[in-house]
Homo-oligomer: A and B are copies of this chain.
């Protein structure tokens, strides 16, 4: 069996030496391991976004890839440090603080283990008594041991029931009386687009087709903040610069954008289960 690739995701940014310390630990376990950065710019402490990013990119990697997600406001306290093994053959290391939620909801998690952090922890660097950087001292170290085949998943610590995985409250998208209901699941923080949790197949069911004008209403905690009738198109490029558009995003879900503009900033909209959205013709 080949050694696995390691992919890192944190809210540490690239501004200081934390990420470089994590790389160093991995390379010191096995200098031949490949490391890639998914992102180090998850919004601070935002385990919802950390969870969402995993369903965005994990599935495109080779089976066996080891992912490390460290968005960890509870580091050093009682939260579990865990390893999830997915049904499609990936390994995800993270604090169990919501980061596993979207994978769990997609029924991708097969088993979850609590890492025994006294047993599996970097030693010999005078960091034994450090409580604040499990990204370096536990997660990167265990990831390197797994990826280099020096440790097996079921050796990191005891497994526990999937039901105990920390989650969030939200509801699936649905159709009722020809109206489609969902919520704004995430923002594209770069281009300022908004991505809903509504799968394209609900638009197909409702027989909404490219070129149609569709009404959309967005509310936050029941306050309506956005209400417009917009074109539904295959890509932003089908509307004029500065115009709004409903489109099918790269996750096969319904999204909203301003062509070459920033919808999030211009309308001050956010994301999360409290940001409800509905579409109708």
Contacts and interface: CB of A to CB of B under 8 A. Distances in A.
Interface of A: 2, 5, 7, 9, 11-21, 23-25, 27-28, 31, 34-41, 44-45, 53, 56-62, 65, 73-77, 79, 125-127, 129-133, 136-137, 188-191, 200, 234-238, 247-250, 252, 260
- The complex is assembled from copies of this chain, and their number is 3
29 contacts: A5-B27, A11-B190, A16-B41, A16-B53, A16-B56, A16-B188, A16-B190, A17-B38, A17-B53, A18-B190, A20-B39, A20-B53, A20-B56, A25-B60, A27-B36, A31-B34, A60-B136, A73-B260, A75-B235, A76-B236, A76-B237, A76-B238, A129-B200, A131-B235, A132-B235, A132-B248, A132-B250, A133-B250, A136-B250
Given A130-B250, A248-B130, A21 B190 contact: no
Contacts of A132: 234-236, 247-250
Contacts of A39: 14-17, 19-20
Nearest to A23: B36
Contacts of A234: 76, 131-132
Given A132-B248, A132-B250, A235-B131, A24 B60 contact: yes
Q: Shortest 6 CB-CB distances between A and B: which pairs? A: A76-B235, A24-B60, A17-B56, A20-B38, A77-B237, A20-B57
Contacts of A17: 38-39, 53, 56-57
A44 B14 CA distance: 14
- Residue picked from A9, A57, A76, most chain B C-beta under 10 Å: A57
B56 A41 contact: no
A132 to B, nearest CB: 5
Given A7-B20, A17-B39, A130 B252 contact: yes
A41 B15 contact: yes
Contacts of A34: 31
A72 to B, nearest CB: 9
Contacts of A25: 60
B248 A129 contact: yes
A59 B16 contact: no
B77 A238 contact: yes
Centre residue among A136, A188, A190 by max chain B CB count within 10 A: A190
Contacts of A79: 237
A56 B14 contact: no
Contacts of A56: 16-17, 20-21
Contacts of A248: 129-132
A127 B20 contact: no
A129 B249 CA distance: 10
